Structure 1
Amino acid sequence: MIQQIAFIGVLAGTIYLVWKRVAFIRRNINLGKSKEVVSSPDRVRNMVLVAFGQQKMFKRPIPALLHLFIYVGFLVINLEVLEFLIDGVAGTHRIFADIPFYGILMNLFEFLAVAVLVSCLIMLFRRNVLKVRRLNMTELNGWPRLDANVILITEVALMCAILLMNASDQLLQEVSPHYAKTGTLFFSSFVMSILKGQSIPGLTIIERAAWWFHIIGILAFAVYITYSKHLHIALAFPNTYFANVAPKGEMQNMPVVTNEVKIMLGLSAADSAPAATPGRFGAKDVNDLTWNNLLGAYSCTECGRCTAECPANLTGKKLSPRKIMMDTRDRMEEVGKSLDSGGAGLADGKSLLDNYITREEINACTSCNACVEACPVMINPLEIILELRRYVAMEESGAPASWNSMFQNIETSFAPWKFSPGDRFNWANELKK
């Protein structure tokens, strides 16, 4: 009874903390501007193939295989966690033990537990010993690197707890009718040899301690991921659904500006111009971006595939698409905490541009969409970069001088080069000679 009350209290506390954090994240995402999303089969297909099917992960086979084991293990082992939850609330022990094929299922769970354990150890080795470049870049210094290691070490500890619990449980099955028969469990049977010298009270303590460690670890993990990059476990699904399905490279024009250009070119009537004008051209802070951009920032896995493919970064420029998303998320967190404490929020004298993302970074972008193509959960850092550049160019007239010359040439000559439109095809005359 005491264990039941304690477990119900821990469970209720976990639900409250997760709910509170989810509300905080939801409010932060809603700081962004509204954006109409039209449902389509393409969106459903993206969610099924990319988020659930891990389609884009397999461009890198080795990390994809490791991630697949962890992903499948996370999904399937949660079925055992369901048994933990019911046992904890009802005060039972292995409530599903009487269902057919229970032993087979438990062996499957143990296989996945070992696969997760080995995969996490290899990932720790890749991060901290091999020091894979994309996993050890400057934007990961401090908390991001610690966060990744904490999660991997926690996963290893949780998987070890499952094997230890099952091993002590099997030994107790031989001497106590309270412990339901599971049959032989292959992987935990190797751990049994270590525990065979233990007394019955000792085995009981080990079994209960491992059970509590695992379930509290899972509940703590549920709270922790809402503060971690591992929030993508949940947000990858809505992010892939709401991701831009337009062809890559198609820029989102501002309707007001587009209409004015059409009027100047005689392609639209003046009375068709919208009455409302935008409050700001482009984006200076997170509230100038769309909620979809902000959802992407919270969905970022910090895997670095975008940065690893970025030609600007590869040639030594300061631009890192991963950092763009991390900075956007950090700015949202700062604004959200300020609002919760009664502070100034967005009026705190800071902004996403300059205080988080520098102009040197956004000017280095070639708009090639390599980062968009590389992202395993369809995040679009380019949209944020373009909106920040649009603000600098249209609100501040602060674009580089060479860019301003190009803009002027396009406006007057309809081409980036400074020559008359009538002379545009003079080069072709040379071909006739």
Structure 2
Amino acid sequence: MQYLSQIVFTLILIGGIGYFTSNVKKLFRNIKLGKDLNVSDNKPQRWKNMAKIALGQTKMVVRPIAGFLHVIVYVGFIIINIEVLEIVIDGVFGTHRIGLQVLNASIYGFLIGTFEVLAVLVLISVIVFWIRRNVIKIKRFLSAEMTGWPKSDGNIILYFEVVLMCLFLVMNATDTTFQNLGSGNVVSQFIAPLFNGMSEGNLHMIERTAWWIHIIGILTFLNYLYFSKHLHILLAFPNTYYGKLTPKGQFLNNEAVTKEVKLMMDPSADPFAAPAEDAPVPEKFGASDVADLSWVQLLNAYTCTECGRCTSECPANITGKKLSPRKIMMDTRDRLVEVGKNIDANKGIFIPDGKQLLGDYITNEELWACTSCNACVQACPVSIDPLSIIMDMRQYLVMEQSAAPSDLNNMMGNIENNGAPWPFNQQDRLNWAKES
């Protein structure tokens, strides 16, 4: 019977980790669909950013209440799950609390006691998060894009955490070996009286049931991440490492456009000369679908936490425009997932589906509502850059479709003809001085 339990546990463990691994491979494949981008510069600064933002949570605590609670959940959940190592060893080798056999009882008790205190703090924080989301109904959780699955996803993960923390405490409270140790049961000792009067066999059954559900719950949670916004638990680290280092107001020049401008300014160049036979085919300007974006932008999309800080800071959104930077990232991820499923269904090949990110997910109206102020980039707690996607898609509209708004077309025409955005001849620029 003991060996049967070990075999079942090992199979569940292999299945859970195997399924997670296969999904991670799909994740990397989808991200690699983006254009190549060299982000190997300034590695010391990148490591520093990752340590400060992803590990240190420095941008989370800008909003103190939510930030502090998030730090508790983040730190608590990660540290508590160190015990998963003990559970895995016990499950595979048929031992019970292997930590007691390799550690001093007082050290083991200190570790488990710390885990129990953190579990309670995580429970309190998660309950507060649930109240903020479902009772207080904070405005940024009620946007149009936060209905259906995105809304449910936010609650599901909270329920997951509540159940896992409760199972951990019940598991400790009904483990007579651990309770008799008299060390480390700083919280579970107050739960144990709830099971007074039960036989040793019943207590063991409850403890084993909680133990099994706990580890299966952790494996389920691990695999749920791939389908959830909480993938940021894993991706926040590479995303902050590869985050933009240049000043926020600095935009990259399009190399193809720069080359054309230099050609126009070269007096020795022949504008009518035929291109060389081996000349590369000009790339599409801007982006209309996910494959036109860089892999870093696609990583951004998968990392989005849907917290809404970007949208709550967006001046266009605040004034009633349809633009929501959060929706831009969610739409990009949804389209990328759709493309990935297409590839899976067609044995590794993408079959055109007549859809694209621009138009089917993100509208022109949303793109042109952006003021390019970078408020969304500044607000993001994990260094996501929605503005870069907006600007790339704008570039496609202007340079590939000539679909800029009439006001912008007028301005560009004035710059071309008058050397300024205004509809006045250059010779008339100083007329205002004469009138005074």
Cα gap change, 1:182/1:6 in structure 2, threshold over 3 Å: closer, same or farther? farther
For 2:420 and 2:70, locate their aligned partners in 1 and report how far apart those are by CA, in whole Å. 47
Q: Which residue of 1 is the match for residue 112 of structure 2?
A: 106
Q: Which residue of 1 is the match for residue 151 of structure 2?
A: 145
Which amino acid in the other structure matches residue 157 of structure 2? I
Cα gap change, 1:267/1:333 in structure 2, threshold over 3 Å: closer, same or farther? farther
Contact conserved, 1:33 with 1:288, CA < 8 A, in 2? yes
Which amino acid in the other structure matches residue 95 of structure 2? T
Cα gap change, 1:128/1:173 in structure 2, threshold over 3 Å: closer, same or farther? closer
- TM-score, scaled relative to structure 2: 0.93
Q: Do structure 1's residue 118 and structure 2's residue 124 form an aligned pair?
A: yes
For 1:72 and 1:410, locate their aligned partners in 2 and report how far apart those are by CA, in whole Å. 54
Q: Do structure 1's residue 392 and structure 2's residue 397 form an aligned pair?
A: yes
Contact conserved, 2:300 with 2:384, CA < 8 A, in 1? yes
Q: Which residue of 1 is the match for residue 213 of structure 2?
A: 213
Q: Which residue of 2 is the match for residue 364 of structure 1?
A: 369
How many angstroms does 1:418 deviate by? Answer: 2.4
Give the secondary structure class of the aligned counterpart of 2:135.
Answer: helix
Q: Aligned residue pairs: how many?
A: 424
For 1:342 and 1:72, locate their aligned partners in 2 and report how far apart those are by CA, in whole Å. 41
Which amino acid in the other structure matches residue 359 of structure 2? D
For 1:423 and 1:282, locate their aligned partners in 2 and report how far apart those are by CA, in whole Å. 36
How many angstroms does 1:376 deviate by? Answer: 0.4
How many angstroms does 1:400 deviate by? Answer: 0.7
Contact conserved, 1:284 with 1:391, CA < 8 A, in 2? yes
Which amino acid in the other structure matches residue 315 of structure 2? P
Cα gap change, 1:264/1:425 in structure 2, threshold over 3 Å: closer, same or farther? farther
Cα gap change, 1:157/1:267 in structure 2, threshold over 3 Å: closer, same or farther? farther
Q: Do structure 1's residue 278 and structure 2's residue 282 form an aligned pair?
A: yes
Q: Which residue of 1 is the match for residue 172 of structure 2?
A: 166
Q: Bigger shift: 404-413 or 190-199?
A: 404-413
Which amino acid in the other structure matches residue 157 of structure 1? V
Give per-residue Cα distances to partners, 1:324-366, cap 9 Å, x unaligned.
0000000011111111111873610000000000111111000
How many angstroms does 1:266 deviate by? Answer: 4.6
Which amino acid in the other structure matches residue 303 of structure 1? C
Name which of 10, 15, 24 aligns with 1:13.
15
Structure 2: segments with no counterpart, 5+ residues: none
For 2:55 and 2:100, locate their aligned partners in 1 and report how far apart those are by CA, in whole Å. 29
Q: Do structure 1's residue 419 and structure 2's residue 424 form an aligned pair?
A: yes
Which amino acid in the other structure matches residue 172 of structure 2? N
Give per-residue Cα distances to partners, 1:198-244, cap 9 Å, x unaligned.
11011001100111111111111110001110000110111111111
Cα gap change, 1:420/1:214 in structure 2, threshold over 3 Å: closer, same or farther? same
How many angstroms does 1:414 deviate by? Answer: 3.3
How many angstroms does 1:316 deviate by? Answer: 0.6
Runs of 4+ residues deviating >6 angstroms? 267-271
Q: Do structure 1's residue 318 and structure 2's residue 322 form an aligned pair?
A: yes
For 1:267 and 1:58, locate their aligned partners in 2 and report how far apart those are by CA, in whole Å. 56
Give per-residue Cα distances to partners, 1:10-40, cap 9 Å, x unaligned.
0100111011111111111111111111231
Q: Which residue of 2 is the match for residue 178 of structure 1?
A: none
Q: Which residue of 2 is the match for residue 262 of structure 1?
A: 262
Name which of 48, 54, 76 aligns with 1:73.
76
Give per-residue Cα distances to partners, 1:288-341, cap 9 Å, x unaligned.
111111010000000000000000000111100000000000001111111111
Cα gap change, 1:259/1:203 in structure 2, threshold over 3 Å: closer, same or farther? same
Q: Do structure 1's residue 303 and structure 2's residue 307 form an aligned pair?
A: yes
Give the secondary structure class of the aligned counterpart of 1:347.
Answer: coil
Cα gap change, 1:428/1:58 in structure 2, threshold over 3 Å: closer, same or farther? farther
Contact conserved, 2:112 with 2:184, CA < 8 A, in 1? no
For 1:182 and 1:19, locate their aligned partners in 2 and report how far apart those are by CA, in whole Å. 40
Q: Which residue of 2 is the match for residue 177 of structure 1?
A: none
Q: Which residue of 1 is the match for residue 382 of structure 2?
A: 377
Which amino acid in the other structure matches residue 56 of structure 1? K
- TM-score, scaled relative to structure 1: 0.93
Contact conserved, 2:108 with 2:184, CA < 8 A, in 1? no
For 1:356 and 1:171, locate their aligned partners in 2 and report how far apart those are by CA, in whole Å. 57
Contact conserved, 1:170 with 1:182, CA < 8 A, in 2? no
Q: Which residue of 1 is the match for residue 238 of structure 2?
A: 238
Give the secondary structure class of the aligned counterpart of 1:334.
Answer: helix
Give per-residue Cα distances to partners, 1:40-73, cap 9 Å, x unaligned.
1221111110111111001100000110011001
For 1:429 and 1:245, locate their aligned partners in 2 and report how far apart those are by CA, in whole Å. 47
Name which of 332, 336, 339 aligns with 1:332.
336
Which amino acid in the other structure matches residue 15 of structure 2? G
Which amino acid in the other structure matches residue 230 of structure 2? H
Contact conserved, 1:168 with 1:195, CA < 8 A, in 2? yes
Structure 1: segments with no counterpart, 5+ residues: 175-180
Contact conserved, 1:298 with 1:329, CA < 8 A, in 2? yes
Cα gap change, 1:267/1:317 in structure 2, threshold over 3 Å: closer, same or farther? farther
